[in-house]
Amino acid sequence: MECDAPMMQIELIITFSIIGFAASKTGSVDTNEVIGIDFGTSFVSVGIFRYGTVEIIPNEYGNRMTPTYALFTETGDCIIGELAYLKTGHNPKTKIYNLKRLLGRTWDDTFVQNLIATVPYDLAYVNNKPYVQVNLGYKTIQFSPEEISAMFLVQMKQLAEQYLHGTIKDAVITVPAYFNDQQRQAVKDASAIAELNVRRLISEPTAAAMATRIHNTEEENMIFVLDLGGGTVDASIIQQYDGLYEAITTVGNTSLGGENFNERVYSQLVNQYIRRTGEKYPYQRIDMQVRRDIERAKRALSSVTETMIEINSIYPGEDFSWKLTREHFNDHCKVVAIFIHA
């Protein structure tokens, strides 16, 4: 099995389905009622169910998905979301992403130790938990994964309040099927920091299955759901009958997703640059720009068979370009097919 379209396209479809269910099953949303939040590894979305249809609330850029990026400035201020994602030229150690993967984990977790080697920002040991550590020069600040995750939830809450012209206190939030009790509690803790009351945490595959049956709950159905997101993947078989949903079987991996594909493409690009030029790759200076370009190329491969990654001024007066084909990208997708088959 090969993945014919990049992960972002699949993630977008799943996100819309999940949000549709999340808000609809808790009652019609007016002001001061319930919103649905899909808090993903790479992106976060917020939606409501009104007048018999799902409304995904756009951010200030008009996009229905907001990147889960946080950028700390030299003054100690924190920029989050789309603007943090778009800004370049900053020290990569002050731009934070993939925080969902750290929720509910301890410092000695093998995954955390492996992650330390792949992210540009610093992680610190605090009470056997991984904290983000940002050095601003004149001071060092530390944040738990829950505290930074709360920033994204606050942003979604504010988007909904502006859209609905009222106060929002309650939310339904989706989580990967294979999130354990500690990880689910961490999501609740982040929500509490954001002053959101979690009415319910719903497994993403179950929510997606329910979203497909909002208007048809009479017939019995067996639904296969493949939820391949930015940081997790779940494959579930869900039985639906008379409005009830039961997960018959679920397999998943909370450490595998679209971000892993990005990392593999990133490694290939670095190797190609070193092989071609014989020069040292300037990680710190262009790291975030290249990661953005790789994400953009991955999306482009949904509709074209090849695309170019262009890096201007990789060194002063030196540009670099690299062609990424869909076939090349699909080679990275085979690991998902192996996972599902297993």
Catalytic residues: 38, 100, 204, 227
Distance CA 294, CA 42 (A): 14
Element (H, E) at 258: helix 258-277
The most distant pair of C-alpha atoms in the chain lies apart, rounded to whole Å, by: 66
Q: Which of 72, 68, 53, 141 is nearest to 103 (CA)?
A: 68
Please give the DSSP secondary-structure letter assigned to residue 58: P
Quote the strand ranges of the chain, DSSP E: 34-39, 43-50, 53-56, 66-67, 70-72, 78-80, 95-96, 122-126, 129-135, 140-143, 170-175, 197-203, 221-228, 233-241, 244-253, 306-315, 318-325
Contact 177, 250 (CB under 8 A): yes
Structure tokens at 50: 């009104």
Nearby residues of 129 by Cβ (< 8 Å), 6 or more positions away: 105, 106, 107, 144, 145
Q: What's the sign of the alpha-carbon dihedral 263, 266, 271, 274?
A: negative
Element (H, E) at 280: none
Please count the other Cβ atoms lying within 10 Å of the Cβ belonging to residue 308. 11
- 171: helix, strand or coil: strand
State how beta strands 306-315 and 244-253 pair. unpaired
